[in-house]
A and B are shown apart, each in its own frame.
Chain A
Amino acid sequence: MGDILSLAADNLLSPIVLCFALGVAASLARSDLSVPEAAAKALSIYLLFAIGFKGGVSVSAHGVDMTLGLSLVAGVILSALLPLIAFGLLRAMSGLDRLNAAAVAGHYGSISIVTFVAATSVLESSGIASEGYMVAVAAAMEAPAILSALWLISRGESGRMDANLWREIMLNGSIVLLVGAFFIGMITGEEGLAEISSFVVAPFKGVLCLFLLDMGLVAGRGLAKGGKLLGWGSIAFGIVMPPIGAAFGLLAALGLGLSLGGTVLLMTLSASASYIAVPAAMRVALPEANPSIYLTLSLGVTFPFNLVLGIPLYLAVASFVFGA
């Protein structure tokens, strides 16, 4: 318990979390602080490229093994399974109807890449290594949850998904960049990293701070606007579901034989909720669902929870399990 509290305290006082808190506070106080749209986009491109590239370099150093393929399969299964659990919980805990519950559930099977990036940053700070291919697992976990959510709402019915939507989901910019950078890192290896390390390694945390400042602003605005729409049951779900997802991630990681770092990352991925890919898919496939509910829950409740308390909690639990 002491370890968890100590980790949580360290995390709370990290520049990353404090920048996020500044963003939330500024937006709740109605400050005019904002990160220009194009700058926020550039920051996210940088982060995706850097994390993908470093993951690829790590795989090139350690080689490809069977666990990589099994981890990808586990990621897909987790992504497809978690919405079913989330849907049941939501129906039990909140007053959401089937449609909105299914739309929200889809978000909780998919992932938040920023939460993943924050977790890798915490691991790096703690000197804990992880499997580089977890980046590819993150990419694999984006889409299956969308199918599960649509299955929940339209069992036997067709027409919610079309070829365009499939293409948009599978080839959305974040996935293309993440996977592309991963392969570039894998091909160029340590030599490639040495060439651009001053760009992808040294400024990484500073850029992440600025990006999380922007995320804090967005989350704060979301909470201010959409908070009234959420009942206490929904808010409780947004806090209870991440540790449940993380528990499934932990079981999968132990089954796969991942390292401590890889386990924490798989727990974080399973605990996080999407706020980019899935909302876009839901707007097309389930336009009747209320976007304010699922965006506020994933971005305004679950994302801050994971960033501030979830990641240190998952690290502490995994450390306990590993006896580290």
Chain B
Amino acid sequence: MQTHQAKRVEITIEKIMQSRLSDALMKAEVHGFTILPVYGGSGRSGLWDRTGQVGRAEGMVQFICIVREERLDALLTAAFKVVEKHIGVVNITDCEVLRAERF
């Protein structure tokens, strides 16, 4: 089957920043992304998990965006403005997609 090269960007960020990142991505015309709840993990502050978080200040979500390579820079520029000072991880991997026209 024919596949096409694309870039997969995963942004794990504080839940409180979810709407800001969504807005920034939409403004940068990145209209396709998926947001997943993060169950838990470990970072510089140690282990944490989603149970027992009392407010919106704690907890993380993960954005998954798949874009064509030429759209990557615009996406990262928009995302960086939002995530720069916040807890989180941004990573980029190569991937292949089936329907190139959707990205």
Contact = CB atoms under 8 A, between A and B. Distances in A.
Most buried by A among B14, B16, B17: B16
Given A225-B46, A225-B48, A292-B45, A284 B17 contact: yes
Indicate the size class of the contact surface on chain A. 20 to 34
A217 interface: yes
Nearest to A23: B52
A276 B55 contact: yes
A34 B52 CA distance: 8
Contacts of B57: 276, 279-280, 282-283, 291, 295
B86 interface: yes
B103 to A, nearest CB: 28
Contacts of B52: 27, 34, 214, 217-218, 221
Given A37-B50, A287-B86, A280 B45 contact: no
A221 B45 CA distance: 13
Interface string A271-289: 0000111011011100110
Contacts of B50: 37
A292 B45 CA distance: 8
A300 B54 CA distance: 12
B69 interface: no
Contacts, number: 52
Contacts of A291: 57-58
Given A164-B19, A288-B85, A279 B48 contact: no
B29 to A, nearest CB: 20
Contact of B85 (A275, A276, A287): A287
Nearest to A174: B55
A283 B51 contact: no
Nearest to A217: B52
Given A164-B19, A292-B45, A280 B55 contact: yes
Interface string B10-25: 0000101101100000
A275 B16 contact: no
Q: Which 7 A-B pairs have the closest CB atoms?
A: A279-B57, A276-B55, A287-B85, A280-B56, A280-B57, A218-B52, A283-B16
Interface of A: 27, 34, 37, 164, 214-215, 217-218, 221, 225, 275-277, 279-280, 282-284, 287-288, 291-292, 295, 299
Given A215-B54, A291-B58, A292-B45, 13 more contacts: A37-B50, A37-B51, A225-B45, A225-B46, A275-B55, A276-B54, A276-B55, A283-B17, A283-B57, A283-B86, A284-B20, A287-B86, A291-B57
14 contacts: A27-B52, A37-B51, A225-B47, A275-B55, A277-B55, A279-B58, A283-B17, A283-B86, A284-B16, A284-B20, A287-B85, A288-B85, A295-B57, A299-B54
